[in-house]
């Protein structure tokens, strides 16, 4: 059934879930229409401190309840996410301006993440025996303890899925969470959180605060035992610097200027059809969206013709159903950035193959999906992340030239390779400097693989979310080892003189049988 903007009564309920003692609020506007959605309550630094204290108290009980209890609660939450999917999609569309299909993707990946960590946390984090330094004489085991309170700072573009990528493994490992929601994504986060609270997650265990990034974001970093940040590289560096002052570890997913390589053995029409989605999903407002395409000359004309035609044919509009292919930009600042990048490129000699203009007839923040050719290094859109519906196509002669161009960037978040031969495409993928590389897909192959780590290289971040790596962020490994009593280790000079020869023989024997 078609969706609709959120009802006022439900918005008011969600706003009360913000951890705030202040009378202050900030207006949030709908991207589709420019109308005011609500006045979001603003938190204070004291609210953050209080939320962290409450989360810390609840965390000890949550951890003590054990893996099986957490598994049951999170699996109930998974079911509630699916039951409430239409409401969650409505919230995502209302706040972000994305299409219903792309909002559905957020719910799908959020539920997948929840199920994955509910089921896998116990097996990943159970204590395990490790090889002792002196076999039979010493027994060694490694176990894990949760960090305590995890600070999560979430952006506006994918508020539900990016939240759950970090919050759920933190909870599954036995931590509490204090999350700073971006103002523009707070309702989606709060609506998703409701499913977990109703499933049995203590409300104080997962607190959500809102407000100024510098003030409230810094307070979250200061209060946390571990920090997760998703956002720009510039802000991520500031988060890392602040966390480092207290030796608080952090994972950062930052900016990208993601390349796609189209090899000359691929079907150009099929590749172009798939590439369009990789570039314009959420109107390019996704950290892993493709912004640079390098296509080999042999198929460049056919690929570009099909890519431009498919881009021009995308249905754009503010629908709360599945009748549109692309939606709106989310913030006025995004529209200004996209317009500036296109204007700069055109002024310096780039060619607009399609798009290039705002669509005020559709709504205040709509901009046409845009394809540029003849983009050069002196243009702002060449090396700086646009984070919008602007893609540059560059023709190259060889795969090596494409690889060099793809790697000629300060970023290394996501990349894609399209090729007819999977073996050849894998060889090319192996040479690309990026944390995620998709073959014959733009980003969804890796983005949806919740059992595999996701993160950036170079200026695109540190740490990994998803997979085993995604939950191991939130625990401290602890080694417990003890003597078995089979033999007493040497303590005096005389005992060392007696046993050192035997210990050398042991080392030689272990090497001979290839024991670790």
Same domain, 302 and 314: yes
Question: What's the domain range around 212?
Answer: 8-254
- CATH code of residue 305: 3.40.309.10
Same domain, 295 and 237: no
> Does residue 516 lie in a domain region?
no
Of these residues, 95, 106, 253, 385, which one is catalytic?
Answer: 253
Same domain, 238 and 276: no
How far CA 124 is from CA of 169, 203, 472, in Å, comes to 11, 26, 8
Q: What's the CA gap between 165 and 160, in Å, rounded? A: 9
Same domain, 204 and 77: yes
User: 381 catalytic, yes or no?
Assistant: no
Token pair listed for 240: 């890392």
**Secondary structure E strands in 265-363:** 290-296, 351-354
Domain termination site, one of 419, 451, 483:
451
> Does residue 265 lie in a domain region?
yes
Token pair listed for 60: 């000890």
Same domain, 311 and 247: no
> Does residue 461 lie in a domain region?
no
Same domain, 200 and 120: yes
> Does residue 166 lie in a domain region?
yes
**Which conformational region is residue 349 in: left (phi greater than 0), alpha (psi within -120 to 50 degrees), or beta?**
left
Same domain, 19 and 114: yes
> Does residue 447 lie in a domain region?
yes
> Does residue 334 lie in a domain region?
yes
Domain termination site, one of 254, 278, 294:
254
> Does residue 515 lie in a domain region?
no
Same domain, 189 and 287: no
Please state the domain count of the chain.
2
Q: C-alpha 180: how far from its chain's center? A: 15
Is 243 in contact with 249 (CB distance < 8 Å)?
Answer: yes
Of these residues, 287, 291, 306, 381, which one is catalytic?
Answer: 287
Domain termination site, one of 410, 427, 451:
451
Q: What's the CA gap between 71 and 75, in Å, rounded? A: 6
- The length of the chain in residues reads 516
Same domain, 229 and 267: no
Q: What's the CA gap between 165 and 413, in Å, rounded? A: 16
> Does residue 163 lie in a domain region?
yes
Same domain, 73 and 158: yes
Same domain, 245 and 271: no
Nearest to 224 by CA among 273, 289, 173, 177: 177
Same domain, 269 and 315: yes
The pLDDT tens digits of the residues spanning 107-122 come to: 999 999 999 999 999 9
- CATH code of residue 76: 3.40.605.10
Per-residue pLDDT of the chain (516 residues; tens, 9 = 90+): 578 889 999 999 999 999 999 999 999 999 999 999 999 999 999 999 999 999 999 999 999 999 999 999 999 999 999 999 999 999 999 999 999 999 999 999 999 999 999 999 999 999 999 999 888 899 999 999 999 999 999 999 999 999 999 999 999 999 999 999 999 999 999 999 999 999 999 999 999 999 999 999 999 999 999 999 999 999 999 999 999 999 999 999 999 999 999 999 999 999 999 999 999 999 999 999 999 999 999 999 999 999 999 999 999 999 999 999 999 999 999 999 999 999 999 999 999 999 999 999 999 999 999 999 999 999 999 999 999 999 999 999 999 999 999 999 999 999 999 999 999 999 999 999 999 999 999 999 999 999 999 999 999 999 999 999 999 999 999 999 999 999 898 999 998 999 999 889 988 988 898 877
Q: C-alpha 245: how far from its chain's center? A: 25
pTM for this entry: 0.95
């Amino acid at each position: 059934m078609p969706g609709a903007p959120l009802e006022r009564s439900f918005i008011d309920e969600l706003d009360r879930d913000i951890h705030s003692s202040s009378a202050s609020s900030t207006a949030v506007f709908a991207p589709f229409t420019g109308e005011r959605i609500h006045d979001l309550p603003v938190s204070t630094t004291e609210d953050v401190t209080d939320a962290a204290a409450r989360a810390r108290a609840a965390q000890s009980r949550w951890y003590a309840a054990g893996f099986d209890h957490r598994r049951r609660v999170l699996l109930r939450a998974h079911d509630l996410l699916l039951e409430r999917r239409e409401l969650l999609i409505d919230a995502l569309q209302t706040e972000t301006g994305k299409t219903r299909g792309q909002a559905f993707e957020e719910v799908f990946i959020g539920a997948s993440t929840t199920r994955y960590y509910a089921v896998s946390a116990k097996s990943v984090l159970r204590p395990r025996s490790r090889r002792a330094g002196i076999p039979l004489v010493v027994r060694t085991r490694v176990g894990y303890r949760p960090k305590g309170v995890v600070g999560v700072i979430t952006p506006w573009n994918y508020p539900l899925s990016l939240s759950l990528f970090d919050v759920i493994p933190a909870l599954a490992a036995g931590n509490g969470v204090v999350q700073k929601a971006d103002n523009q994504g707070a309702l989606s986060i709060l609506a998703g959180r409701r499913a977990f609270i109703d499933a049995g997650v203590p409300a104080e265990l997962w607190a959500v605060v809102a407000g100024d990034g510098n003030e409230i974001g810094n307070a979250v970093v200061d209060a946390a035992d571990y920090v997760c940040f998703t956002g720009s590289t510039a802000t991520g560096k500031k988060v890392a610097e602040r966390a480092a002052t207290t030796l608080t570890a952090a994972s950062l997913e930052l900016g990208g200027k993601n390349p796609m390589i189209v090899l000359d053995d691929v079907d150009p029409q099929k590749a172009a059809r798939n590439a369009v989605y990789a570039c314009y999903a959420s109107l390019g407002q996704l950290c892993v969206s493709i912004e640079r395409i390098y296509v080999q000359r042999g198929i460049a004309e056919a690929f570009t013709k099909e890519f431009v035609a498919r881009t021009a044919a995308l249905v754009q509009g503010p629908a709360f159903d599945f009748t549109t292919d692309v939606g709106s930009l989310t913030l006025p600042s995004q529209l200004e950035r996209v317009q500036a990048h296109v204007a700069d490129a055109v002024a310096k000699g780039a060619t607009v193959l399609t798009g290039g203009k705002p669509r005020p007839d559709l709504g205040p923040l709509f901009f046409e999906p845009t394809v540029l050719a003849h983009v050069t290094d002196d243009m702002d859109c060449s090396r700086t992340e646009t984070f919008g519906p602007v893609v540059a196509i560059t023709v190259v002669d060889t795969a090596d030239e494409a690889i060099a161009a793809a790697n000629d960037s300060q970023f290394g978040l996501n990349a894609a390779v399209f090729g007819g031969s999977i073996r050849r495409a894998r060889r090319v993928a192996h040479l690309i400097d990026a944390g995620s590389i998709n073959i014959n897909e733009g980003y969804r192959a890796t983005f949806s693989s919740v059992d595999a780590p996701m993160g950036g290289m170079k200026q695109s971040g540190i740490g990994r979310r998803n997979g085993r790596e995604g939950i191991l962020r939130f625990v401290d490994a602890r080694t417990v080892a003890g003597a078995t009593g089979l033999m007493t280790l040497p303590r005096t000079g005389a005992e060392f003189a007696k046993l050192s020869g035997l210990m050398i023989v042991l080392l030689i024997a272990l090497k001979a049988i290839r024991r670790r």
